[in-house]
Amino acid sequence: MLQSWLPVPPDSDFSIYNLPFGIFSDERPARVGMAIGNWVVDLAAAYALNMFPQYPEAGNAFRKAALNDVMVLGRGFSEYVRKIIQTALCDHQSDLRQLADHLLIPQEKVRMHMPVKVGNYTDFYSSEEHAFSVGQLFRPDNPLFPNWKHLPVAYHGRASSIVVSGTPIIRPSGQTGQPDGTPAFKQTRALDYELELAFVIGKDSVIGQPISVEAAEDYIFGTLLLNDWSARDIQRWEYQPLGPFTSKNFASGVSPWVVTWEALQHFRVPAPAQHPEPFPYLTHHPLQNFDLSLSVSIKPEGSEEFQICQTNASGIYWTAAQQIAHHTITGCNLQTGDLLATGTISGSGISQKGCLLEATLNGTKPVKLGEGIERRFLEDHDEVIMRGFGQRGDIRVGFGELRGKILPALS
């Protein structure tokens, strides 16, 4: 077991085994940092002290306000940086310890920013429990569409409205359908969250050349929590025949720290068996997911927070590798900074549902938050908090928090 001279709480998401990358600022401009416990390692300042001699080009990358230039240098580089910092945290004589006042900044004193510049965003529909539960609400005799077990279903989202944790979410207005089949224009009364993971693409692929399922994971730099905010009443009216549009393009939230692909390897577990077996371009063995505990809490204004979902990423049907292989099978190219999200992650029990649409049976059965407090969908000034982590013995790797507070619709 690695032992750090810097005190790290045992329940910290940012253990010495994690060391995620993010973009932070204080009184100085935004730049690249690394989380350890309750601290941020200033990687730009560490570079200036020649802590990364094998990569002289890293200086410019560490001074950028997005991780894209860091990712372009490759996973070998990011692992080199993690190893240097990890070793320094275990060495009582290291420059990191001797110059801690210069290199370590309390997280409470920094502002976190969007970690990556996102060029494209694709949201999949990879949890069978979620797809089945939603299908039962609207098609009880045929919950899964015929294509669902043959390919990873997805829609292309809006990259420009992806926001970092803590960004307020304004209640959207739009067209909704009425019982008589006519539309009305009003603010959404069915605002929802969706608990997801997002895979951050760390290198470009070539247009016209599919990425094989065997090579797909080589393109992933790391992972974020993602909240795909959704206006369900707007979605019901607009989604046929081409899928969601304005009901989801107003905001998607992400956690600020990118957990590297290497840090997640402690938590590999088998993915669910797939029947029928998909086409060869989607077939790979072993099928693997990650044992990551995920939760959602709601904090009404002036109240404590109430956890209403506890689930796990291990049951996702379509794996990250399969998502990438299918996304590129036609020759579509991926670019550094692209996000590929899992879609809502749900389990079978009502307390394992990753969105209110499922947990409340489309608003027909409210969830209890506390004495006299219940929700069918989100209300103004509610704050949604998502968390996630993996734990194997004393090794803990987590994402921190993803928060978003609902503000009233614009008048």
Residues taking part in catalysis: 130
Is 78 among the annotated ligand-binding positions?
A: no
Contact 397, 389 (CB under 8 A): yes
Is 125 among the annotated ligand-binding positions?
A: yes
Contact 48, 56 (CB under 8 A): no
Residue 197 and residue 216: Cα distance in Å, rounded? 17
DSSP state of 258: B
Following DSSP, what letter does each residue of 80-134 receive, concatenated?
HHHHHHHHHHH-TTSHHHHTHHHHEEEGGG-EE--SS--S-EEEE---HHHHHHH
Is 248 among the annotated ligand-binding positions?
A: yes
Is 93 among the annotated ligand-binding positions?
A: no
Is 304 among the annotated ligand-binding positions?
A: no
361 phi-psi bin (left φ>0, alpha ψ -120 to 50, beta other): left
Which is nearest to 171 in space by CA: 240, 250, 243?
Answer: 250
Is 262 among the annotated ligand-binding positions?
A: no
Q: How far is CA 230 from CA 4, 248, 343, 383, in A?
A: 42, 5, 12, 15
Long-range CB pairs of 365-374, under 8 A, 24+ apart, other chains included = 367/308, 369/298, 369/300, 369/303, 369/306, 369/308, 370/303, 370/304, 370/306, 373/300, 373/303, 373/306
Is 252 among the annotated ligand-binding positions?
A: yes
Is 310 among the annotated ligand-binding positions?
A: no
Is 107 among the annotated ligand-binding positions?
A: no
The binding site consists of 123, 125, 139, 194, 196, 228, 235, 239, 248, 252, 344
The binding site for substrate consists of 125, 139, 235, 239, 344
The binding site for Ca(2+) consists of 123, 194, 196, 228
